[in-house]
Structure 1
Amino acid sequence: MLHKNSGQALIEYLILFSFMALIAINMVKGMGGMMTTSIRTIGYQLTQQLTIGVCERECWYSAYENRTY
């Protein structure tokens, strides 16, 4: 009787841990997608800032230190 109960507990633990692992894997995938989007947005913004450069007149962004008037 004791052996049968321990087998049932083992199966329950395996189901519980597999369910927890499935949730953890989905969370990691979701966070990875979010990080990919964030990195892509940061990369786009840096590309825009670095390729536009500093203009002499009609600048939209005035925080550059080497800006000349």
Structure 2
Amino acid sequence: MADPINLNRFRKTKARKQAREDADRNAVLYGLPKAETARARAEAERIARLHEGGRREDGSPRDETGH
């Protein structure tokens, strides 16, 4: 038989993990100087345009065979 699980401990561990992930995400988003943020945003937009440029008129992606 499996050991019993302390649900309070599980819930608190999950909340700590989520808070740590949120803090890491915010450090990346808000921890950069304005110039680096603008450069990262421009790079993301450039990649999105390249990705969209590979789409067909009907919206379906191209495959390697050209079909």
**TM-score interval, normalised by the smaller of the two chains:** 0.3 to 0.5
Structure with bigger gyration radius? 1
TM-score normalised over the length of structure 1: 0.43
Higher helix share: 1
